[in-house]
Structure 1
Amino acid sequence: MAETQHFVFALVEDFTHMALSCAVDPLRIANLIARRPLYRWSFASENGETARASNDSVTMVHHDFSSLPECDRLFVLSGIHMKEKDTTRLVSALRRERAVGTPIGALCSGAYILASAGFLEGMQAAIHWEFHDSFMETFPEVNLVRNVFVADEKHVTASGGTATADLMLHLIERDHGYDLSVAVADQMVYNAVRNATAAQRVSLQSRNGMRNTHLAKAIQVMHDNLETPISPAVIARDLGISTRQLERLFGKYLNSSPKKYFMEMRLERARHLLLQSEASITEVAMACGFESPGHFSRVYRATFGVTPMLQRDRMN
């Protein structure tokens, strides 16, 4: 690994400024804490001069898409209206960089651009929840997941916003160790860092309610019964639909099953309680509907890679 890694961010017009800030600042803080330049970064755009974000802020850039510099990682960052953009020059540049072995990733809606260029076939990918439905219909060959980011594929992807910070902290840990990533998170006052398996969580109404009433109601029922989980069959019966219909809804809109989604909700709540409360492991297990601390610990470790006790110790 080079002494200083160079990250290039290819900015598509109307890119999400929050995602860019969440990508760059962890790298800056890592340099500050390490007292040496672990990372440097530069920006590229279509015209090679500026890139306008969706909040109308303008970023000065260093390169245009046709003359990208040699780098250690190249990230495509786009935001709203990315389907309407002419990305021909960018895609050509991405193919050239792929040919020479440059690691390429995508932030926010950038996975859409990578998928349209055929980069993500057969891979897992993350994208902002707002684009999930159209993405699944357009790119059935891509295994879209609801995770905040995917880091174990050839092309890493993050769903945007603060998920970009989660990805960068993960890369910092991978490159320079856990202690540095925690120190960076502390400087960011970011005390609930998510790992890749964490699911995107947004309001039920904005994500599902406008699309399918039964699905939104089913998720609300799950949310209301985290301490005393009920089966998908009972949920379906209470909604007046069949269990098979419920399974189809979760598969179509969330690329999941009711049972798996419910378990993810319970585990995510457990994780928040571990990190943000003084409740004991047993109390957390009971609050999230697990029959025993032992069962809770096994399921938690299988999902997050650490035991509940180690999860809490890491944050102390």
Structure 2
Amino acid sequence: MALTSDVTFLLLDDFSHIAFSCALEPLRIANLLEGSDLYRWRLASPGGQQAVCSNRSVTLVDQGLEPLPARSSLFIVSGQNIGERVTPQILSFIRRERARGTRIGAICSGAFVLAKAGLLDGRRAAIHWSFHDSFGETFPNVDLCKNVFVADEPFVTASGGTAASDLMLHLIGERHGADLAAAVADMMVYSGVRPPEASQQISVQARHGIRNPHIAEAIRLMNESAPFYLPSSEIARKIGISTRQLERLFQKHLRVSPKKFAIHQKLERARNLLLQTEQSISEISLACGYDSPSHFIRIYQKRFGVTPNNHRLC
């Protein structure tokens, strides 16, 4: 009989409820299908009493930041406002558990906590796509990837939402076999289990309802050159069409010019940095390819109807 695996979920306030449920339920179902306790779990929070998730539901927990049982696994589950939730006590707890041999992972924005603890430098990690801009600016030494999860590193990470189930099914398969993992997925009515290398976001074609390969390639080139986007003429040259044809394709399928599309992309990045980091307006302006903060402020206000400072205060 397989030994029971001890798993602790450290819940930080504003954690993602869907990510937590998608991480925990595969373990419960694995126990149900196997008829034995393959997994035993406990919940922890910094205060040791409860944790409040982003939808304001309250979850009671079993413990605070006390030592975990030997040979445990620890998963940090967080969500919004992660920069405000990371305390010296949490970082000390994670480092102590690492020194004790605890296997540590992170879900949703949890990779931010591991990076803050200095555990991800030079390693691949996944985090929810909405945190990519701020994470990349804050932790440039981490090899941030767009995968749904990363399981082939000392610290496993999942990007959030249903990606937590993908990671757990992967780990169940590693420990107890692919048949049990598939049976758990069936019980969850989860027929689209994704491999680690799957992308977090749906394709440009699916999102905008387009199938034109020229637009998809143009947007890929734009994203690769961010925040200093290539001019339309250069993009057109690289994909083998005329600048005028590129302009027509963008107007037909996306209702904007390539230049305006690039500006919108830059401003979305700026908004993420504004709401998820403590960087100054000047720093954000520069990180998004604007040499003049005053010009950046005017463009931002025109796009979102509010100045960057007032947006941050909302």
TM-score range, shorter chain: 0.5 to 0.7
Structure 2: tracts of 5 or more residues without a match? 209-214, 223-235, 248-256, 270-314
Query: How far did residue 134 of structure 1 move?
Result: 1.1
Cα distance, 1:235–1:134 mapped onto 2, change above 3 Å: farther
Matched letter for residue 92 of structure 1: S
Which residue matches 2:144? 144
SS for the counterpart of 1:74 is strand
Equivalent residues in 2 for 1:228-267 (5 A)?
Answer: 232-234=238-240, 237=243, 238-239=245-246
Cα distance, 1:33–1:119 mapped onto 2, change above 3 Å: same
Give CA deviations for 1:156-176 in whole Å, capped at 9, x if unaligned: 000000000000000000000
Which residue matches 1:16? 16
Q: Contact 2:86 / 2:113 at 8 angstroms: preserved in 1?
A: no
Cα distance, 1:92–1:58 mapped onto 2, change above 3 Å: same
Equivalent residues in 2 for 1:1-316 (5 A)?
Answer: 3-202=3-202, 218-219=218-219, 232-234=238-240, 237=243, 238-239=245-246
Cα distance, 1:216–1:60 mapped onto 2, change above 3 Å: farther
Q: Contact 2:71 / 2:101 at 8 angstroms: preserved in 1?
A: no
For these two proteins, the number of residue pairs brought into alignment is 232
Indicate the percent of aligned positions where both proteins have the same amino acid: 54
SS for the counterpart of 1:64 is coil
| Cα distance in 2 for residues equivalent to 1:231 and 1:109 | 39
Coordinate RMSD, CA, aligned: 3.3
Q: Contact 2:48 / 2:63 at 8 angstroms: preserved in 1?
A: yes
| Cα distance in 2 for residues equivalent to 1:176 and 1:143 | 30
Which residue matches 1:313? none
Query: How far did residue 8 of structure 1 move?
Result: 0.4
| Cα distance in 2 for residues equivalent to 1:71 and 1:54 | 30
Give CA deviations for 1:269-289 in whole Å, capped at 9, x if unaligned: xxxxxxxxxxxxxxxxxxxxx
The normalised TM-score by structure 1 is 0.66
The normalised TM-score by structure 2 is 0.67
Q: Contact 1:14 / 1:52 at 8 angstroms: preserved in 2?
A: yes
| Cα distance in 2 for residues equivalent to 1:31 and 1:172 | 11
Q: Contact 1:68 / 1:93 at 8 angstroms: preserved in 2?
A: no
Query: How far did residue 86 of structure 1 move?
Result: 3.9
Query: How far did residue 219 of structure 1 move?
Result: 3.8
Q: Choose 119-128 or 63-72, whichever is displaced more.
A: 63-72
| Cα distance in 2 for residues equivalent to 1:85 and 1:216 | 38
Give CA deviations for 1:28-60 in whole Å, capped at 9, x if unaligned: 000111111100111100110100000111111
Q: Contact 1:44 / 1:68 at 8 angstroms: preserved in 2?
A: no
